[in-house]
Structure 1
Amino acid sequence: MTFSEQELAAPAAEHAVTAVDDAPRKRWAAFRNASWKLWTGLAICAFFVVIAFIAPLIAPNPNQTSSIGLQPPSFAHPFGTTNIGQDVLSQVLAGTTGSVAIGFIAGAITVILSMIFGVGGGFLGGKWDEAASLISNVFLVLPGLPLLIIVTDYVQSRSIVVISIVIAIVSWAGAARVLRAQTLSVRSRDYVDAARVASESTWRIMLREILPNLMPIIASQFVFGALGAILAEAGLSFLGLGAPGGKSWGSILFFAQNAQAITLGAWWWFVPPGLCIAVLGAALGLINFSIDERINPRLRTLALVKRASRDAHRKATR
């Protein structure tokens, strides 16, 4: 008994159609099974991003003064006022724009530099890897906070963009070392060797074989860089080295400290910006933890075991 080519190809075609139909289902299952940490962190970050965009509309003049100074929260001023009558809520809203912008810009620059020196050096190898490792090690052994204070103090124009660039230049080396180690691991795998045997170009191997496998780590480094930048900017502004013309949560804390808000009992002046820094930092930390659960085999296995245990418990209680 013989079979025609159409009959032989029919099961394969049916399997291909089934795989295509199952693709959206698998993607939805992946989103549905995502960690609560990821969704919580994304929701909080999305809230602050929306506030950063609409802050100029709802708080057009946060520096407007009045004759009512150091007033506690009220209906007219939900977050109270400063010593010169500025509305603290308007300042917190305006500071959201500066802090979120610094976190995003510094995180992006950190990822770009770490990819150039980490992924590029680790994949190319040889003298390129030696030079990239040397530069990374030099920045890695330098003390971060003192170097950041010195560089920021010597910069004449301290805008939000300049502060972000300075923070990124000081803090990219650690991410580069992590990406270099992962690149060395991915570079030695079979599919990369097969791409070399197939005479694919270096850039094609880099873009098609290396980078897709590093995307979870790159995303984690971006989140970690943004978190570090927001905290670093708050520390710089608290020391008086922040952007003079741009509002941020750190600058609010700086003026509150100079006006002795703690001594005067004006808790409404420094608690809201401090809580915003803590909440946004916690949200970025949750996102980073959820990404780590995806790329760390031990944490991923533990999460699967916990999910299976919960499902078994739900079925037993029904």
Structure 2
Amino acid sequence: MATIETQHDVTGDVVPAVVVPTRYPRWRGLLRSRKLIAGLAIVGFFGLVAIVGPLLVADPDLVSDDRLLPPSGAHPLGTTNTGQDVFRQLVVATRGSMVVGVVVGLLATVVSVLVGVVGGYAGGRTDEGFSLVSNVFLVLPGLPLVVLITDYVQTRGALAIALIVSITSWAGAARVLRAQTLSLRARDYVDAARVSGEPDWRIVTFEILPNLLPLIAAQFVFAVIGGILTEAALAFLGLGGAGSWGTMLYFAQNSQALSLGAWWWFVPPGLCIALVGAGLALINFSLDELINPRLRATPARRTRPGGRR
């Protein structure tokens, strides 16, 4: 979108002046998206719990004689078979799962941008080498490879799990960014910047990356979802670190919480995973609407009485 400013000459005639582009009109429409607001509210709530929550609750590993009690005033989410408070465990586990998701999102996005954008703009052998590495990681099965690496590595903290998951989470996004970069580098304004003598790093930073920001943001959100779900799967298999929603599900399954009817032990962590996934999915849908105008909902036109609009 752009606005055309006009001016009058000495004879009083209207003369078109400079065409002033309207900057980031799509981002303004995105800020009014109900999906984005709902998604940010959900993710923001869990982010706040992850930051502040562990500082406000007592030690979640404390055992007591209150074993397998349902939710009550003393224990809002009941207790485990060893008398541990489920609510405390859930609050502390929120930090572990959210940290893994954010770290995976950041690392996978940075690697995909470096491989996809740099390779797509440079072309030649650089692009061929990056494409070969990307294709190899795309062919390898993701979850079995993560399980194999996690079983081999002895350290299983939150950051170690995030690094392992990030290894297999960047290739698909890199291919998408490479395709978009190949399209953008042939645009007229990129050729004009190249002819004017601007260095390559400046062209990539100020001419190509701003046009890829919606796509990069969507890839980041998708990587966060994948990181949280993969970590939960690893923890459920007994390969995750301590203090996450997947770890709670692992101990609940090993203690036969479902057979004992202790639904308060495994439902809260599963529900948290679903809610965070739904919030991130709403954010991703909003970014998809920003990237693809065909996905935007067009407001219905009002019809006047008599059939006239």
Q: CA offset at residue 274 of structure 1?
A: 0.2
- Whichever structure has more helix as a proportion of its residues is 1
Which AA in structure 1 matches 2:231? Answer: E
Quote the residue 1:312 is aligned against.
Answer: 302
SS at match of 1:68: coil
Task: Give unmatched runs, 5+ long, in structure 1.
Answer: none
The answer to whether the 8 Å contact 2:93/2:243 transfers is yes
For 1:166 and 1:195, the matched residues in 2 are separated by 39
Q: Which runs of 4+ in 1 moved over 6 A?
A: 313-316
Quote the residue 2:209 is aligned against.
Answer: 211
Quote the residue 1:138 is aligned against.
Answer: 136
- Are 2:286 and 1:290 equivalent residues in the alignment? yes
For 2:27 and 2:144, the matched residues in 1 are separated by 47
Q: CA offset at residue 199 of structure 1?
A: 1.1
TM-score (normalizing by structure 2): 0.90
User: What do the CA deviations read for 1:9-68 (whole angstroms, capped 9, x no partner)?
Assistant: xx969x98xx9xx989x7995356x32111110110000000001122222411111111
For 2:98 and 2:304, the matched residues in 1 are separated by 40
Residues 180, 254 of structure 1: alpha-carbon distance in 2 compared, 3 angstrom cutoff: same
Which AA in structure 2 matches 1:185? Answer: S
Quote the residue 1:30 is aligned against.
Answer: 29
Q: CA offset at residue 168 of structure 1?
A: 0.6
Matches within 5 A, 1:71-110: 71-110=69-108
Which AA in structure 2 matches 1:40? Answer: A
Task: Give unmatched runs, 5+ long, in structure 2.
Answer: 1-8
Residues 29, 206 of structure 1: alpha-carbon distance in 2 compared, 3 angstrom cutoff: closer
Quote the residue 1:118 is aligned against.
Answer: 116
Quote the residue 1:220 is aligned against.
Answer: 218
Which AA in structure 2 matches 1:251? Answer: T
SS at match of 1:312: coil
Matches within 5 A, 1:181-200: 181-200=179-198
The answer to whether the 8 Å contact 2:30/2:36 transfers is no
Percent identity between the aligned chains?
Answer: 56
For 2:214 and 2:81, the matched residues in 1 are separated by 46
For 1:148 and 1:23, the matched residues in 2 are separated by 42
For 1:284 and 1:172, the matched residues in 2 are separated by 18
Quote the residue 2:42 is aligned against.
Answer: 44
Quote the residue 1:280 is aligned against.
Answer: 276
For 1:296 and 1:39, the matched residues in 2 are separated by 19
| CA-atom RMSD in angstroms | 2.5
For 1:229 and 1:93, the matched residues in 2 are separated by 19
Q: How many residues align?
A: 297
For 1:12 and 1:280, the matched residues in 2 are separated by 50
For 1:290 and 1:204, the matched residues in 2 are separated by 29
- Whichever structure has more strand as a proportion of its residues is 2
Residues 55, 313 of structure 1: alpha-carbon distance in 2 compared, 3 angstrom cutoff: farther
- Are 2:260 and 1:264 equivalent residues in the alignment? yes
For 1:191 and 1:312, the matched residues in 2 are separated by 41
For 2:218 and 2:152, the matched residues in 1 are separated by 31
SS at match of 2:59: coil
Q: CA offset at residue 75 of structure 1?
A: 0.8
Q: CA offset at residue 297 of structure 1?
A: 3.0
TM-score (normalizing by structure 1): 0.87
